[in-house]
Chains A and B, each alone.
Chain A
Amino acid sequence: GDSVTQMEGPVTLSEEAFLTINCTYTATGYPSLFWYVQYPGEGLQLLLKATKADDKGSNKGFEATYRKETTSFHLEKGSVQVSDSAVYFCALRGGKLIFGQGTELSVKP
């Protein structure tokens, strides 16, 4: 069945560092891909999405490109802030919405 695998956390970075959170997927067909963010004590919020190969989703300085050839959707940000500290979930939707296990990001001043 469909599945999503994310790099394990926690990831700890200093402010203004470059961020990459790896995400790979297994799916039949052509799923849509998503990154969700969960801030402490809150529900999930959609961060960005891509619906077909080579699409780039972007929001709040975060980017991810749908790579069909490597079945990946890595999340990147050039300069993280303390306020980016949260748990990030990669997800795919073919029929159902399936989440990766989440990656906790902690950004230190």
Chain B
Amino acid sequence: GAVVSQHPSRVICKSGTSVKIECRSLDFQATTMFWYRQFPKQSLMLMATSNEGSKATYEQGVEKDKFLINHASLTLSTLTVTSAHPEDSSFYICSAPTGADSVRYFGPGTRLTVL
């Protein structure tokens, strides 16, 4: 089946630094990818929709200047957490749809810890 990868799987950074997370569709093209944030023992919250060739669409309450999204190609979307703070620590998951019924495939997630 379709595979979505994320890199890195785990990152620890100092407060104030920026962190880039990559999401790749490995055997299919995705004009759209979705970025989610998951807090411990909670549901996935959609942060933004990444669109190849155009600007990302952000959900209400998500700071677009803090969470920069770039959909560089049909197989790659990146999420950059700028000037990270401890409250940004979370599990970030990307997803891409494929197939006629747009089944969503999810990456394995990236655990971000900001010290």
Interface residues of B in 88-115 (CB under 8 A from A): 93, 95, 101, 103-109
Q: Return chain B residues, CB-CB under 8 Å to A51.
A: 101
Residues A43 and B107 in contact, CB atoms below 8 Å apart = yes
A43 to B110, CA, bound (A): 9
Query: What count of chain B residues pass the 8 Å CB interface test?
Result: 18
**Contact call B109/A43, Cβ cutoff below 8 A:** yes
Q: Do B104 and A97 touch (CB < 8 A)?
A: yes
A side interface size, CB within 8 A: 17
Residues of B within 8 Å of A43, CB to CB, are 4, 6, 93, 106-109
A102: chain B residues within 8 A (beta carbon): 41-43
* Residue contact A101 to B34, C-beta cutoff 8 Å: no
**Which residues of A (35-86) have their CB < 8 Å from a CB of B?**
36, 41-46, 49, 51
Question: How many whole Å from B3's CB to the nearest CB in chain A?
Answer: 10
Query: Residues of B with Cβ closer than 8 Å to A?
Result: 4, 6, 34, 41-44, 46, 93, 95, 101, 103-109
9 residue pairs from A and B, CB less than 8 Å apart? A42-B109, A43-B93, A43-B108, A46-B104, A46-B105, A97-B46, A97-B95, A97-B104, A101-B43
